[in-house]
Structure 1
């Protein structure tokens, strides 16, 4: 259903009254027929039979007002359009920026005017995919309805310049090497030669941490060496320098930043921060995607320190399900997972991640009384733009609440991004496999930087429970056990189910995982690289993001 709340579509189609039916030819996007709703069935029958449709007649609906229609002639680039572009677009569309062209003068903008109108109408730009009717976000880059109308009307009128100095041409816009300013610490990620084609396994290099004293982090930023090749970067501090040239996520403790296109920096609220201990190493998870030519990536991470300790610690955990199983040719397949909070918490943001077959996702809060609230809705997930959605006001999470993530996947031939609709798809690192991965930043209400707790321990049993417990009852039935870990539990189900009630509850799962020597962590073969970083051992370094 298209909700034309900005009146852009109705105005463009020349609609004057409600209850008018319009048939669009999807091959040309031209109006093939219009008329009254009563005449629509006969018109469709005629067109499907290859016959000309009879005139539809006038609609008897109410007249529709378009109050902004007469304002078109007054809109100019200098007075109206350039300020909008400067506010919303130039940060990416500048020399050296991530945008494919630089909006640095009137001639350049006018040349792309039809494309600007198209990407605005189709809601592709600015790239922000949260449903505007759900939640409020501090990093929302979307245009306001008035700004959208201004840009579309300006293009409709031929993109007039107007009188005066070119606002975008008067200032030289060049992408800064570090948009947040020069970092206090720059970590060089070991270089990697990305081939022109083929599948590149995740690279897991590390670099020695050069700091000799601990620091509280207020922000991090990643500068990719080759934007086309670097899909994402995850990081983690490692207490002991690994042997050899690689590390793994099981060694990580505190996060030292992350990157994906659309999410290149993390800046923390003034009252929260994370701690980088001295020494050790920083490990990296590098996902590279070949794009047709060989290239060498030399990415960097900039770290910005606080002058003093924050009052609170920013923590991080993950909602994931490494047991996902998407049938071949399934056009609308849903998977779900959750995490549960044993204590009161404050939620700051959520980073939603999947691969080519994902089409939508959301995040719900379910409080102990069973009430649910939709926090984030992404009705159109875009693999090419991934970001953390930061709440304008942090969300209170009462103890005992669940955060529930749903993901929808299109594994059919109708999905233009689908590598192969004829195969069953399961969890995997590569983009032609799939993931269900929602990373959240939060703080515990009962924790301060002076009085820290074992954050990761609070999620020990719930990680696996939240991945498999599809009916949200806090218990695992035999039918809910999937994947390698599910097979392991199923093989010992009767032994684990000590009270013989036919399900595995949280206490029984905790004992079983302890006997398996897993301490509540996902099995490596299932959870892969996306386990949440563990807290560091000593008190000063327990602050992990």
Structure 2
């Protein structure tokens, strides 16, 4: 009879102990896994969609690899493992099968052991049993883990051939192979190899935490190792070369010059701009610095803003010539003329795109390319509908006086600092055959007329059984129009009742300025109150011209009979400035998580 080593038994027992008070905000123990899981992905300082600088590493068999050279062959997956973590050990066979399946496609899998508790002898002993056929590295000083932002074992980090981090998270959703429903890493690999958007770009890992060796006691906080990843993750999407911000934060001299201003802004939670409160809805497109990141920057500035040795100082990928989600399924080019305006003033243009598609399409995501991002402040894409105009304000489908296209359903947007968000698998915004896409462009004035070549990229769902989205609209006063639609998705008022089970994916505020503050709650038939969103008043008035669609990290299930209500509304001029919120959902009868 074989007995489990005492050290492994103690390791398992430690996994089942309550998490220490200092780590409660970062980790939890969910009933599904019954092991430690990250509460969110914010604990990593390396953001998905960041370009990773090349790094050299040596495998246990003595071969030295350079990341740049591996990427010439195909995508690279770094899987962080542990010789003592029971959860990581359960993935040995799955990883070997994945390596055998994808090596023919040029994919390289690298196993990385960064835990300081794993000695070289421990790792070699385990590998003799696991018989991995891919390179394995003992990350003795933790440099690989820090370079990629690894926090857990097992945890996968997928880089495409451009060295851009496209997926970070668990290999799949269950340590027991027979219970797996979502193969996150495989899905991400297929998407990258096919040039499609990754369906789930990051999700909290579960298993065991990584304990890295302490940095030398004399090592100071420096720009290269500690501050660059934060700038890439939170700042460079606006503060980059030819970006919309008035200054760049892409190099040491830039960041040092504005260091005091940066500390002032982040400590006041003014930058990066994000109005949604953290305890009302969990949003996957959240832009928020953690308390640790704020403290780290403040301490770095206070201690003299040391530069350090440059390790990974490249800009976040957001080029006018780059499709963030990979090559779209459909691309449309729209020439636009930006008229001469007084410098500092803004103007908007509405462009209607009459499509020639011969079938209904389901749109999962929208992205844009431009040769003039410096002038463009915001783009909103909507699916339009033909409406007959009568008089000045009233609309009716039957009259034939005049036909115009009006926005009906927002399908995507661009503005500084955001990346396109993908709807869940088998969910899409319905673009009917022959439908119209309407673009609302806001641009800032210049002293000359400028030409704009705008490209819109559509990412479609071609999966059988794809379901469409609907919208439920809330307004802080009743809509008294006599001609308002009677369908469930179009009723407008201070409350909204769902007549059947639904899943809510996103919420979009309309006409919510920096002076507004509001909360929305959902009350189920049994009295359960679900906090949907809390938008706080902001001192950043530029947010009035920007636009956010808040996408929930996981779809929010609301049973039939649930009521959406404004819980609190702060508005100095409610009659002149009606507050409108659109909640995008799909009917649960056709949606499978």
TM-score (norm 2): 0.51
Corresponding residue number in structure 1 for 2:113:
none
* Cα distance in 2 between the residues matched to 1:312 and 1:72: 57
Q: Structure 1's 72 and 378: CA in aligned 2 closer, same or farther, altered over 3 A?
A: farther
In the comparison of the two structures, how many residue pairs are matched? 348
* Cα distance in 2 between the residues matched to 1:87 and 1:357: 24
Deviation at 1:268, TM superposition (A): 0.9
* Cα distance in 1 between the residues matched to 2:218 and 2:582: 44
Is 1:366 aligned to 2:523, yes or no? Answer: yes
* Cα distance in 2 between the residues matched to 1:182 and 1:441: 26
User: 1:363, 1:375 within 8 Å by CA — same for their partners in 2?
Assistant: yes
1:264-343 matched pairs, under 5 angstroms? 265-278=420-433, 280-284=434-438, 286=440, 288=442, 291=445, 293=447, 295-296=449-450, 298-321=453-476, 337-343=494-500
Q: Structure 1's 322 and 152: CA in aligned 2 closer, same or farther, altered over 3 A?
A: same
* Cα distance in 2 between the residues matched to 1:87 and 1:101: 17
Q: Which runs of 5+ in 2 are unaligned?
A: 1-21, 23-216, 390-399, 481-492
Corresponding residue number in structure 1 for 2:533:
376
User: 2:365, 2:459 within 8 Å by CA — same for their partners in 1?
Assistant: yes
User: 1:247, 1:283 within 8 Å by CA — same for their partners in 2?
Assistant: no
SS at the partner of 1:446? Answer: helix
2:580 to 437, 448, 461: 437
Corresponding residue number in structure 2 for 1:118:
264
* Cα distance in 2 between the residues matched to 1:398 and 1:135: 17
Corresponding residue number in structure 1 for 2:240:
94
User: 1:241, 1:281 within 8 Å by CA — same for their partners in 2?
Assistant: no
1:76 to 206, 217, 222: 222
Q: Structure 1's 186 and 127: CA in aligned 2 closer, same or farther, altered over 3 A?
A: same
Deviation sequence 1:325-350 (CA, Å, 0-9, x none): 9xxxxxxxxxx822221101111121
* Cα distance in 2 between the residues matched to 1:186 and 1:253: 21
1:125-274 matched pairs, under 5 angstroms? 125-162=271-308, 164-168=309-313, 175-177=319-321, 178-189=323-334, 191-194=336-339, 196=341, 204-223=350-369, 228=375, 230-238=377-385, 247-249=404-406, 256-259=411-414, 265-274=420-429
Corresponding residue number in structure 2 for 1:52:
none
Deviation sequence 1:420-472 (CA, Å, 0-9, x none): xxxx6745xxxxxx3412122211112359xxxxxxxxxxxxxxxxxxxxxxx
Deviation at 1:166, TM superposition (A): 4.5
User: 2:519, 2:569 within 8 Å by CA — same for their partners in 1?
Assistant: no
* Cα distance in 1 between the residues matched to 2:362 and 2:565: 31
Question: Please, what is the CA RMSD of the aligned residues?
Answer: 4.0
* Cα distance in 2 between the residues matched to 1:205 and 1:126: 30
Q: Structure 1's 277 and 172: CA in aligned 2 closer, same or farther, altered over 3 A?
A: closer
SS at the partner of 2:306? Answer: coil
* Cα distance in 2 between the residues matched to 1:290 and 1:322: 33
Corresponding residue number in structure 1 for 2:32:
none
Q: Which runs of 5+ in 1 are unaligned?
A: 6-70, 326-335, 412-423, 428-433, 450-545
1:396 to 549, 557, 562: 557
Q: Structure 1's 322 and 230: CA in aligned 2 closer, same or farther, altered over 3 A?
A: farther
Corresponding residue number in structure 1 for 2:394:
none
Corresponding residue number in structure 2 for 1:446:
589
* Cα distance in 1 between the residues matched to 2:449 and 2:575: 30
Identify the structure with bigger relative contact order (alpha carbons < 8 Å, sequence gap 6+): 1
Q: Structure 1's 135 and 181: CA in aligned 2 closer, same or farther, altered over 3 A?
A: same
SS at the partner of 1:358? Answer: coil
TM-score (norm 1): 0.55
* Cα distance in 2 between the residues matched to 1:396 and 1:357: 29
User: 2:235, 2:272 within 8 Å by CA — same for their partners in 1?
Assistant: yes
User: 1:256, 1:276 within 8 Å by CA — same for their partners in 2?
Assistant: no
Relative to its length, the structure with more strand (as a share) is 2
Deviation sequence 1:293-341 (CA, Å, 0-9, x none): 465555442211234335433333322357699xxxxxxxxxx822221
User: 1:226, 1:299 within 8 Å by CA — same for their partners in 2?
Assistant: no
